[in-house]
Structure 1
């Protein structure tokens, strides 16, 4: 299909992008376009203005500020996966970014675009939630931050206002943590039927603390706090981990669709979470 007609604006600054979105009846941000362009072609979105961030300098790249990893929103998945800084300070994100789509998608799609699109089956929103990320957003009133826990609010819906631009993602360093991203999908390029992001800190041979987030177990990434609490202080052994992860699907809202039933997703979440924690710890 052919998208509806729209105006195209390529600003040179974030302020210009914010102003263009604010003056539009229905504006959309174009980052990598790997999610937006198919939506436009299917006419599931009909913006009057498309604001292309490709000409705005300073929105991509990775840097370290103290113990905080800072990643520009326009940094591609391939750049995230290949970055030595990301591999050292957020290895979970590097690993997950390397599983997104296929090579073409990873070289065009962006970290910020994926997070702002808020697809419940996308890999990176759950990873950002597990890593307690903070999102830096610029709007008409200036810059502000949004915690990952507050960013995704519903299906394909975030806390971004219509004239906000996601500028960067800030992650506390998890260097030294044991991490793993596990997902189940039917084909190599398919969306995750269920995914699990895990970061575990060892303590005296056991588990000191754990962060877990689930992909595609509801409209937004799910943090199973009861499982994180159960894992904290548990032995780093498969039986104890399996027992702690048994209730990981409690409080989730998976859907029935052509890929899997809700019950199947609940069982997958239990199996994959146990597997992810064990693989992170090497047990």
Structure 2
């Protein structure tokens, strides 16, 4: 790890200004991806901008949406997202206690790891991701592996999840990392179903055939394995099978 400047801004505007001062800069939230990448020299920013003092934490319901500040820790989502029990349970299953007490929901969504849990919840719960420059709908926000609609230097400020009639998350964990080898989030709304899958492919995605089958009360067709990951942990065919298993598990725990 090489030398870098550390900024601790007191406002979102100051953070954005520090990012724009020149050189390579990086925002620091929980740091679970950034710090290891810096240690291995995969990332070598000239400046780190610590977002911890920006007042971006907290959970509040406003009408049909549950708003969660970007710097809210996983542990606080697990105990505070009571309006959406499925989301609270998802947060409680992220990593281990140390990870949950440091990692943030905004950092996870901005990083968009293809095996992360929150992107599936954001898609299934039709989330709005608000930033210092505007907002993004979850359907347009996730753009592939570690890629999002965020512009350079754009800061997530809060996330608004549509409160469903019921929702749940089924997750098949990697035994070491506890990331999702396959995770399926299911949400039922008055207007229909939304189902999102993480861990199985190069990015999070909506499972539209499952949504249609659930709405029709018919059997969910097996997910095609063509575009799914195949690696030392699981073949694409096995991941396709796990999607069906995790979907059934989630439906059995709808709350």
For the aligned pair, the TM-score class normalised by the smaller chain equals over 0.9
- What is the CA-CA distance between 1:189 and the residue it aligns to? 4.8
For 2:247, which of 256, 269, 273 is the aligned residue?
273
SS of the residue aligned with 1:263? Answer: helix
Correspondence for 1:78 among 67, 75, 80: 75
Following TM superposition, by how much is the alpha carbon of 1:259 offset from its aligned partner in structure 2, in angstroms? 1.3
The answer to whether residue 89 in structure 2 is matched with residue 109 in structure 1 is no
SS at match of 1:197: strand
Q: Does structure 2 conserve the Cα–Cα contact (< 8 Å) formed by 1:60 and 1:71?
A: yes
* CA displacement, residues 38-82 of structure 1 (integer Å, 9 cap, x when unaligned): 1211222121111100122x2000112222211100000000010
Cα distance 1:45–1:185, how it changes in 2: closer, same or farther (>3 A)? same
Runs of 4+ in 1 over 3 A off after TM superposition: none
Structure 1 98/149 Cα, relative in aligned 2: closer, same or farther at 3 Å? same
In the TM superposition, what are the counterparts of 1:185-224 in structure 2 within 5 Å?
185-187=173-175, 189-201=177-189, 209-224=192-207
Select 2:87's aligned residue among 77, 84, 93.
93
Q: Secondary structure at the match of 2:143?
A: strand
Instruction: Return the offset for 1:216.
Output: 1.3
Aligned residues: 255
Residue 182 of structure 1: aligned partner: 170
1:164 corresponds, among 131, 150, 154, to 154
Say if 1:27 and 1:162, in contact at 8 Å, map to a contact too.
Answer: no
When Rg is computed on C-alpha atoms for both structures, the one with the higher figure is: 1
Preserved CA contact (<8 Å) 1:11 1:53? yes
Post-superposition Cα deviations, 1:2-46, rounded to whole Å, max 9, x if no partner, equal: x23221111110001111112232211101112221121122212
Of stretches 115-124 and 261-270 in structure 1, the one that deviates more from structure 2 is 261-270
The 8 Å contact of residues 96 and 123 in structure 1, kept in 2 or not, is answered as: yes
Cα 1:252–1:32, aligned 2, differ >3 Å: closer, same or farther?
A: farther
- Is the contact made by 2:144 and 2:204 (CA closer than 8 Å) also made in structure 1? no
Residue aligning to 1:237: none
Which runs of 5 or more residues in structure 1 are unaligned? Answer: 203-207, 235-239
What residue is the counterpart of 1:52 in the other structure? 50
TM-superposed CA distance for 1:213, in Å, is 0.4
Q: Structure 1: how far apart are the matches of 2:163 and 2:145? A: 29
RMSD across aligned positions (CA): 1.8
Question: Compared with structure 1, are the counterparts of its residues 252 and 280 closer, same or farther at alpha carbon in structure 2 (3 Å cutoff)?
Answer: farther
Q: CA deviation at 1:183?
A: 0.8
User: Which of 20, 23, 36 is equivalent to 1:22?
Assistant: 20
Q: Secondary structure at the match of 1:70?
A: strand
